[in-house]
Each structure stands twice: as C-alpha cells, then as structure tokens.
Amino acid sequence: MKKKIEDALNEQINKEFFSAYLYLSMSAYLEGESLPGAARWMEIQAKEEAEHAMKIYTHIHERGGRVYLKSLDGPEQTWKSPLSAFEDALKHEIFITESIHNLVTLATEEKDYATLNMLQWFVSEQVEEEANARENVEMFKRVEDHPQGLFMVDRALAQRE
C-alpha cells in the first residue's frame, strides 16, 4: 500500500473514532436531558462509528500497511437543545461524507483499486447516515417546545436496534 494512501486512511480512522466520541458525548448530554431513547440512539451510533474505524484498520493491515493511532480531540460536552445536538450530528456526517469522497478521489488517482472497493461501502453508508441524521433533525424541529411531542420522538428513537 502506498504511503500516501496509508496516511490518508490513518487520518480517516481518527475521524471515525472521533465520530464515536462525539456521538457518545451527545448520548451523555441527552441522558442528562431525560431523553433515554435519543441517548440510546446516539450510543448505538457511537458503536457503529467504532466499527467503521475498525473496517479501515483491518483493511490497512490486510494490505500490508501499518496503523498509527493518533490522539483524539475532545468532543463538545453540551448543546443548547436536543435539536442543536442533532443538527451538529448532521453537520458532522456531511463533513465525513466529504472526507470519504476525498479518499475516493485519492484512491482513484493512485490506482489503488482494493482501497477504492473498500471505500464503496463507505460511500453507500454515508448516504444512509446523512438521511438518518436529516430525518432526526426534522423530527426534533417539529416537536420543538412541545414536551408531549418530544416524549413521542424519544420513544421512537428508543426503537433503534
């Protein structure tokens, strides 16, 4: 595996673990807001992000590369409302999509077809992640300032498997 690709994939591992950290921080915030369903949704999302990081980790090793774990930035600890936490989650997913697309461009330029193939999974996953994040934002927008509605949204989010 070319050094350029190895470095870029190592960067992405850091971003995926940061995503896990960010969503776990959002989960803790939502727990404190007495929204256990939303907190659970974010906790599951955090676990998925760690799995994303591990997919890239495995790919690097399978290709004879080397993983170098970098330090993680501290995520935000609090938000002004549950809606603003979910809006930040959507912004973050858009940022991650851009990062994946940049990796696709690099792998194409470097003719690294195995990495390109691995990244296709992430391209599809990001479509789903952004769609979910957008749906959540819309749900929270509709129930802003309606405690009863907020309760219903929390119950719906608790259903995530």
Footprint of ligand OFO (CB under 6 A): 16, 19, 49, 52, 93, 96, 125, 129
Give Cα separations from 127 to 98, 110, 130, 145 (angstroms): 11, 24, 5, 30
Shortest spacing between CB 22 and ligand OFO, in angstroms: 8
Whole-number Å distance between alpha carbons of 18 and 75: 8
Shortest spacing between CB 62 and ligand OFO, in angstroms: 19
Of 46 and 153, nearer to ligand OFO (C-beta) is 46
Shortest spacing between CB 19 and ligand OFO, in angstroms: 4
CA max distance for the chain: 55
Of 6 and 49, nearer to ligand OFO (C-beta) is 49
Exposed/middle/buried for 141, CB within 10 Å: 0-12, 13-18, 19+? exposed
The separation between the first and the last C-alpha atoms of the chain, rounded to the nearest angstrom, is 36
Shortest spacing between CB 47 and ligand OFO, in angstroms: 11
Of 85 and 150, nearer to ligand OFO (C-beta) is 85
Of 79 and 150, nearer to ligand OFO (C-beta) is 79
> Which of 55, 68, 63 shows the shortest CA–CA distance to 16?
55
